[in-house]
Amino acid sequence: MREAVVWVFGAALAFFVTAGAFLLLANLATGPSEESLPPDPQPSQSGPALELSLDEDQLASMEALPDQRLDLGVENAGDEDLSDVNLTLEVSSENTALSDARYYRETVQALEAGGSVTVQFYLDLSEGEGPNPVAVPEPPRKILEVRATTPTGVSTVKTAILPL
């Protein structure tokens, strides 16, 4: 009985030693590929950055009518002051066969580093030309695409999809 226990213990010990050796070799062999992988994207710690925010509760309250108010939050999340931040808002239909896009533009003259501003838009979300009931069997949603750009090339885009 004692011999059997010793034998089992010895076999287990030999196995774990061998497994450990394989583990070590495997980690050594994959070393270079780890280095060649691109690093995790890190959040920008410096330089210019723009962020846009859309209030989803306000979006949910919108109707397919003219004069729908939208408060667009614009934040300079970088560490450099920005000037002439151009905001372009395009309202279009999910149905790309319809050519009823409407455009709205505003400019924020100056936005200091870490600062934010709310810009109001009054949108016409009323229906344009009617969708083709044969080509598209379901009512198209509205698409709001907001783009912020600066003359120095800083830009950001957000898109809202509204089931109006």
Q: Which is nearer to another protein, 33 or 120 (CB)?
A: 33
**CB-neighbour burial class of residue 150 (10 A; exposed 0-12, middle 13-18, buried 19+):** middle
Q: How far is the CB of 109 from another protein (least distance, A)?
A: 25
In whole angstroms, how close is the CB of 12 to another protein at the nearest point?
8
User: Which residues contact another protein (rule: CB under 8 A)?
Assistant: 15-16, 19, 22-23, 26-27, 30, 33-34, 37-41, 54, 56, 59-60, 62, 92-99, 130, 132-138, 140, 143, 145, 147, 157-163
Across-strand partners of 110?
83
Burial of 85 (0-12, 13-18, 19+ CB in 10 A): buried
CA 133, CA 29: separation in Å to the nearest integer? 61
Q: Which is nearer to another protein, 107 or 159 (CB)?
A: 159
Q: Which is nearer to another protein, 38 or 109 (CB)?
A: 38
Query: CB-wise, 33 or 109, nearer to another protein?
Result: 33
Beta carbon of residue 115, minimum distance to another protein (angstroms, whole number)? 21
* Min CB(79)–another protein separation in Å: 21
Pairing mode, if any, of strands 155-162 and 142-149?
antiparallel
Nearer to another protein, 3 or 34 (CB): 34
Contacts of residue 136, Cβ cutoff 8 Å, sequence gap at least 6: 95, 97
CA-closest candidate to residue 92, choices 84, 103, 81, 83: 103
Closest CB 103 distance from another protein, rounded Å:
14
Bridge-partner residues for 51, per DSSP? 75
Structure tokens at 76: 């300079």
